[in-house]
Every structure is written in C-alpha cells, then in structure tokens.
Structure 1
C-alpha cells in the first residue's frame, strides 16, 4: 500500500478558506499545538518581533514532531520583524497635552528646559531612525503608539524634528512611529531579520512574511537572500502602509502571496478607507492568481472574551465572502485566554458563510499559459458534474495554486506531490487539500494510488466522477491531459483503515 501523508481535516468538514494561527505563550506547548492542529489550523505563524533564532529552531521542530504524532501536517510561516521607527527610552512616561512640543532627536537628547518662552511644555526623546529629519516635511502627520498620539511637524533640521501635539496621550519607552504618506528610506531587511531567517531556513520554514513591503524590490531582495541560503520558502508580502498600497500591483506580481496587515495599515491610511483597500487588494491578488491572507483584529475581543462581537463575526464573514485564501489570528492565539475557542469560531463562521458564496469562477484572473487555461475547463467540468473534485499531480505547486485561484466553490482540489516543501506550501491556497505521495514510474499506477486513497479516507464515494490533471506519454512525448476517472469501490477490510496510515513524515 502506498504511504500518503496529508494535511487534511476530513471530508465531512471540508472548507475552502484556510486558517492561520500565531504561536505564543498560550499555544506553543506540545499539548496546545496538538489541539490547534486537530482543530484544523493550516498554517502556524511565528512572529519574530520579540522572538529569537533559538526559539525558532525549537518551535519548528516541535511543530513537526506534534504533527507526526497527531497525523495531520501544517505549514510554518516566519513573520520577520522588518524595519521600524521607534522612540527611545524615557525614565518616566510623559503626559503630552494638546499644544505641547515634542522634539525627536537622532543623535542624542540634549538637556533643555521643559517650557518654551510661550509657556508651552517642551519634551525631547530620541528616535532610532537617522533619516527622519530628511524624510518628513513641515505639515506632515506623525503618529505614535499605534496612532494614539497624533503630532504635526513644525520644523526639521539635520538632527531633530519638532512636532506639536494634536491628540494628547501618555508616551512611554520605545513606542512605534508611523509616518502616513511619507516614503521612508528604511532597508527591506534588518540585521535581526537576516539572523532570524538563517535560523528559520535551517529549521525548514515554508513561508516568509516580509513586513512593511513598500515596493517590489523589497521582495526581490528577500528572494535573493533565500536563494543564497538555498531555501524554497515562498514569500508573503505584508501590505502595511500607503507606499505598499500605491505599489500593490508590482508587489503582488513579485511576491508569492500577500497579507493584508490591517494593524499598521489601519493607522497609515484613513480608517474609513480600510475596508475598500482590503477589497481592492483581494481583487488584485485574485487577478494575479496569488493567495491573499486577511490579518489582524479579526477576533480581537476574544483575547479576553469567550465570544466574539457581532462586528467581528461580520468582519470574518466579509473576508470569507470576498474569497480571501486565509484568515489569520494574532493576539487571540498568542496571549489570549481563548485560543482554541477563537479557532472554533473561525471554523463556524467559514462553515456558515462559504455555502452562500456564488459558485461563479474567478473571471478576473489572467491565464497566460495553455496549461493554465486547461485548468479552467477542469474547474467548469467538476462543478457541472456535481459532487466531484479535481485531482492534480504537481512537483512545483503551480497547477494547484492556479486551481485555487480559479475559486471553484464546492469542488475540492486534491493536490498530490512527491516534494515535501511543496506539500507544506500547498496548505495556503484556497480550496487545496495537499497530499504527499511517492510517484510511481508508471503514471497510471500513481493515479490509481491517489484515487484509492481518496476513496479509503472517505473523500469520495464509489462511483464518483473526478477530473484528473496529469501528464501522459504519447509517442515518446509527454503531454498534458484532462481525464475523467470514476472512483472504484474499496474492499470492506480496507474501508476501516485508520489515520495512522498517513501520519509518518517523509
């Protein structure tokens, strides 16, 4: 019997939309990891903002070990911290009032009086970005601490930026700074990012999420580093500021997938435009045939509450109805009190929403290659057959990614590969159920092994017609084929095979 490894949930709980969970203190133990995997999480995110290379090595190894024990496999995404602008340390928090002056110094904070001649209070803090005075202009808005404190630039010289407080607040140490609409000259990767990436590649990560992507060349720089490290990891570009939104199309073209990172993005752009930008990004990704992840604040209230708000339910429902490839949990599963309940809520919303979505295929995608156009025919045929599915054999993942991008609702995409890295990367695209299987030298034997497995595991009933995409040999020439195959019956003594048949790593 051919050994097959899977990332499947089960035929009875099939869903198109994937779930990403961020690991943290609430979920990184082997016991909690096992529960997340059993619940149906498809990708585990490692947030490197405060993590170390040692933690990466330990955590990736733990994920692989637990997956093997559970008998269900997941992908691993490393989310590198990326460059960011932060204030320096302060001895005690500063209470900023409207009209106060706050000065950012790039080369050390001078000792000055806290009051100006006009009686306004004047405060000084350091900033970690030497290029700040050159990047901002008088009148620019500066947002501090996730936008809670709003400032306006009054003056800038070679070593400082003087701002006036518009929205008051309390300023603590090392607070994040956003510069809406300002094209900053930060590097795509920091020294910490490169160190983390080397550890991640050595541990076998499947995806890299690149923070604050402003232009396509940022993606190219990361890809060059991954190539140097010999990694096949796919790149997920995070759109988090106005520059990323302006350059979304070349960024989407350069990246393997996109994350709509609504935390910083919601600060960088007018909040009322955020839903419209999300929709625009989703549609642009679908036109390019690239997966898109909706992230941040999906179920934020469930960090402390066992139930989501009605607005959060509607937000997740909207992401599913837009047919995003995946939805992502952050604080809900890192430090939240209800991480497992949060995953269950996502599953319930997805399960209720997906049947209501139109079965029309993605008409915006631009299919350039004849092979890709053949896949559209396969999707149409499978939908018209009803209770069908598409079986595809791939070593690069290309065919399965295109099929997912076509969005054939109601049609499972069974993607078989004999490449372990591709197997894990097939856990992201919409509607794709990946399987790792040794391919036979005889293509017919490979097809029969795959169909027998789908039947034995309850994915297809005997007599079901499946659309099969594979290569065939004709007159010593390899050709692409679209075939109709009927699933044969399974002998009774094999029908009770357990999940242990597919729980061994490659």
Structure 2
C-alpha cells in the first residue's frame, strides 16, 4: 500500500539540516550549563525555594544574548519545536530538541541507539515543571483562580470603598480577585475601612480577595503653579443665536482675603484690590473700565457668600494688573487692580516655547517673559519641580516629558538652580501644564531612593493589613533590597507581604533581571507593567515590544505579572468601551493578572473583562495558541 505521504526525497535534506543545527544547539546547552557555577555567589542569596527559578532566569538571559531566529526557522521547517515558548524551562526545552535530533540521526546512520546526553542537572527545571511553578507562585501571590478563568482581575479602590459595602459586593460578585489601595491617595483610616469592608463582603459572598497596597514613591511632579497671571480672559455664555445666557463672572477680592479664598476651592477668576479701595465698593455699584485691548466694559457688582463681591458683564473682558475700575458714583475714586488670579492655575506651552524649571520651588513665582542668561531667546514660562534632585544627572539634549506625555521638550541648558527646556511637542494653540503633573526623564539616570519618608511611615500599616506591596518608581536592585530591609526591621522574622516591582521607567526595565534576583530572596514576588509612565519613558512605539520582554523575563523567573494602566478605561469612565481597548484587554490574557482603574462604571468593566479573559483562555495561554474547535458555517467546505 502506498503511504499517504512519501517524504523519501526530503529525508536526506532533513538529515543534513539536523547535522548542521546540532553543534549550535549543543554549544548553547554547554553555555547554559555553566550558569550555576558562573553565578553561584548571586544564587546563594536567592531563597532556596526559588533557586531553580533563578537558574532558569539566568539561563534564559544567557540564551537571549544570541540571535536565534535563523535556528528557529530551520527547526520549524524540520517539524521540531522552534524553542519560541521555552521561557518556563529553557534547558530542558533545548535538551528535548537535541534528543529528537540524535534519535533521527541514529536511525539515519543505522545505529540502534542514539547518542547519549549528559544527565540533566537537578537545578534545571523541565518545561511542565516550570509552568507548574509559575502557577503555584501565582496562586500564593494573587490568590486562587476563578473556576472559569486563570487570569486574575485587580481593581483600584475608589474612595467610596471606605463606606459603600454594596459597591464592594458587586465587584467581588463580578469577578474581582485583588483589591488595590493606592497609598498616594486617601489616609490610613480610609485604607483601614476599605480592608475591613473587603473582609466583611468577602465573608458574605464567599469570594476570596487579596489586598495590594501601592506605595506612593518619589513621583517627579510639577510644583504648585502661582494663581497670579499677567492677563485673563472672561466671557459670557451664549446660545446658538449669540444671545447671552449667563453673564461673564469675576470675583473682586481685598488683598487680605486672597489666601482664604484660595483655600476655599473657588472656581471663578478674581481681581485683587487694595483693602481700602475694596471697602468703598458695595453691591449694586457699576464699575466702568477699559480692558487690555482698550475696549470699554462695565461690571455690575453683586454680593457673594464669602468676603468678596461678584462682578457681572455681558461682554468679554481681558483683565490684567494695572487696569482701572471707575465706580459709577461720582464721589468714588478709580480703583486700581493689583493682581489677577486664575482659579485653574496653569502655564500654557506651545511648540518652540522655552520653559524654565526652577529646581527650588521658591524660585518660581513669575509668569512674565524674561530673558535667559544662557539662551538667545526669551523664557516664556516658569514652573518648579517637586523633586529637584531628579535632574542631578540630566544633560543638555536629554528629553523631558510632562503630564503623561501631553507635553514634551529637550533640555537646552542647565544651571545650578534651573533647567531650560525647549518645548517640541504641544498643541499648536497651546497645552496647559498644571501643578502636580508628572515629569519623566527617560534618558536621565535618576539617583533617588524609591522609598520615601511617607512610604516608610506607611509600611507598618501595610505590613499588618496587606498581602502585597507594590514598590513604585523602583529603578535598581538597591531599591528592592532597601524595602526588604525596612520591612524586616519593622517586623523581624514575620511573614512579609509579597513585593511587586512596578516597572514604570526605562531604568527599571533595564534593571529588571537584577531586581528580580534581589526580590527572589523572599519566597514570593511579582511584577507590574505600569504602562502609563513606561510608555513615555520607552516611547509609545516601543511599548508593545517592551511589555513582551517583561512578560518573557518574568515567565522565565516563574514570577506572576500584572498587566496595568488604562485597561478598559473608557468603559470604566463612560460606560462605553472603544474597540482598541477590547483588543488590549484580550492581550492581558498573556499576564497572570489584569488591573482596572476606578471609574463610575467599574463594575461593568469588571464584568466585561471577566468575560473577555474567560473567552481568550480557550484560544491562548501565554505565547501558545490553543486550537479550540471553532464554530462557523460549513457551507462551501463540502
């Protein structure tokens, strides 16, 4: 009977290819076998239960020093494993391929027995064992899986979680596995109520839920922006026919009342007057003025609930310090405006502007343009930095990003107390930069401890109440060791929360293997891909590549990964997802956990993510596609 497939013509070619590939594979195995001895000093510091995982991680890193794409193509052409899914057990994946090649070559040469291979080192995990180790570690760190899916769901707790038991119940019943408490917000008493409510609702629903606390860390932010501005536009609201529906409104304040007004959270702009001049004004007065354009305008004064007066105008006014307000009463002198206050303080930056960053907050108080001593052009805006030491190693030409990448520039000059940044990316009409917005320095080595004084103060509470502690803005192994030392000093010999390494800077990405080996001194740890800051640091175009590398390295270490930042963000905030974020959420199936941020529709987001992850697990696990039976019309296939 003729065989269904005769490969006799291809057999010599295949045998020859195997002979050519075998030495390269054996050479890589020999190189990986040296890992335990080569890194023995480092491996001694790893927790004994993690030694095999650490060896596998180091072997994977050694392997990835080579470009294996040619070998992979050849192996796939021979019907052998291309080694593209070897992360969980690198050495034994190679040995399995070599065994198959030896068997085929022995048969081709007429040998009854294939060439023998050296015994496998007990430190080398086989692929199934590596995957099992990752599954076990994930269960210890993130809790047991749901019956219908393995990927966990983490949810950032909103302030309402401190008092709304119904919200927590709905989140647990919808599929939340881990609750995240962001220690950059709220207070310890709020966190305590959240954990107590979680424990109560968990008992009531019978649902397990771990608690992860996120340390605030040394976030580099813009400092407070002065409310005083050189000019401010106020205008009335009009309907589609141009008729005024709401007059332009501006407060008039005495100089002595500006501080109290700022603390009140008032949302209207203000004109600041001398106390004596202000006291001569009263509700019902009409003030005549010429604005900065010379346009004649009137303000009708009304009483407000606070110390000031409210001025109303049916026309647009451009207000600035120095304009004169003339009361309609002839017995009253003109009043001079001393300052104009913006209720939403910000500097407006356009491409080409020169921004001065003061490295000491008290040095940044002016919004007026000023000449630069080190540049031929004029500084158009000033702002201060909350963490000036972050610029210690900055160099001219290095990029700077503000407010999650909305504004970007290049450092043009650096002095002892200031940095000049030429704005390259912003809206042509200008982008506002407010206080407390993030600053990223992707090409600057930042020598700042990841553990702040606030973090140290929060840690005793965290160690007592949390299952996981996320180390924010970690950049190097020393940061991880510092956290471990502080926790041990706080509670010697006690069981500690598992450390989650938040990878959100370029420096952290480059240091990930070193940080993992340090974290693996404890029995359990994990990794979070904080894609917001990381995308800015590494470049949006590289983000897909970077997150893949983090997934591979973490799998080689048998460490669970949390896929975070902007997952189903539109759905959580507006109730309606975008098409792109559904695909992004499906990609999260590659990680062991997916994190959702808070929002008015967070319960719907959890339900949707639960459904997406459940469906995707039938098609994909890590990098491996699963060939589930598909349902489709069979017309035309007959």
- TM-score interval (norm. to shorter): 0.5 to 0.7
* Map of 2:601 onto structure 1: 338
Give the alignment's TM-score, normalised by structure 1: 0.65
1:156 aligns with 2:425: no
- Residue number among 425, 442, 448 corresponding to 1:167 in the alignment: 425
SS at match of 2:534: helix
Q: Distance in 2 between matches of 1:133 and 1:316?
A: 36
**Aligned equivalents of 1:185, 1:7: Cα separation in 2:** 35
Runs (4+) off by over 4 Å: 6-10, 110-113, 358-362
Q: Does 1:306 align with 2:575?
A: yes
TM-score with structure 2 setting the length: 0.52
**For 2:151 and 2:602, how far apart are their aligned partners in 1?**
19
Query: Offset of 1:200 from its aligned partner?
Result: 1.9
* Structure 2 CA distance for partners of 1:111 and 1:281, relative to 1, 3 Å: closer
In structure 2, the partner of 1:247 is 511
Confirm or deny: 8 A CA contact 1:96 1:170 kept in the other structure: yes
Q: Secondary structure at the match of 1:355?
A: coil
* Structure 1: runs of 5+ lacking an equivalent: 1-5, 363-407, 411-506
Q: Which residue is equivalent to 1:425?
A: none
Residue 232 (str. 1) matches residue 490 (str. 2): no
Cα distance, 1:152 vs. partner? 1.2
**Alpha-carbon contact 2:161-2:197 (below 8 Å) kept:** no
Equivalence for 1:129: 387
RMSD: 2.5
Match for residue 325 of structure 1 among 574, 592, 598 = 592
- 2:603 and 2:174 map into 1 onto residues whose CA distance is 8
Task: Summarize deviations over 1:176-203 as a string: whole Å, max 9, x none.
Answer: 110012111111201111122222223x
Look up the match of 1:109: 363
1: CA distance, partners of 2:616 / 2:181: 28
1:33 and 2:182 matched: no
Contact map agreement 1:101 1:165 (CA 8 A) in 2: yes
- Distance in structure 2 (CA, Å) of the matches to 1:355 and 1:264: 32
Tell me, in whole angstroms, the C-alpha distance in 2 between the residues paired with 1:174 and 1:41: 30
Q: How far apart in 1 are the matches of 2:153 and 2:391? A: 41
Structure-2 change in CA distance of 1:100 and 1:75 (3 Å): same
Larger Rg computed on CA atoms: 2
Distance in 1 of aligned mates of 2:178 and 2:394: 38
Aligned position for 2:404: 146
SS in 2 for 1:192: helix
User: Gapped runs of 5+ residues in structure 2?
Assistant: 1-141, 228-344, 520-524, 629-638
Q: Residues 104 and 351 of structure 1: is their aligned pair in 2 closer, same or farther, counting only changes over 3 Å?
A: same
- The Cα offsets for residues 69-114 of structure 1, whole Å up to 9 and x where unpaired, read as 2222210000111111112111232112222221111233266651
Q: Which moved more, 1:115-124 or 1:270-279?
A: 115-124
Match of 1:282 among 551, 560, 563: 551
Cα separation, 2, equivalents of 1:192 and 1:250: 26
1:349 is aligned to 612
Q: How many residues align?
A: 351
Question: C-alpha displacement at 1:164, in angstroms?
Answer: 1.4
Q: Any idea what SS the aligned residue of 2:371 has? A: coil
Cα distance between partner residues in 1 of 2:567 and 2:201: 27
Q: 2:150 corresponds to which residue?
A: 16
State the distance in 2 between where 1:146 and 1:345 align. 26
Please report how far the alpha carbon of residue 326 of structure 1 lies from its aligned counterpart in structure 2 after TM superposition.
0.5
Query: CA 1:304 to 1:254, structure 2 compared with 1: closer, same or farther past 3 Å?
Result: same
Q: 1:161 to 1:8 in 2, by over 3 A?
A: closer
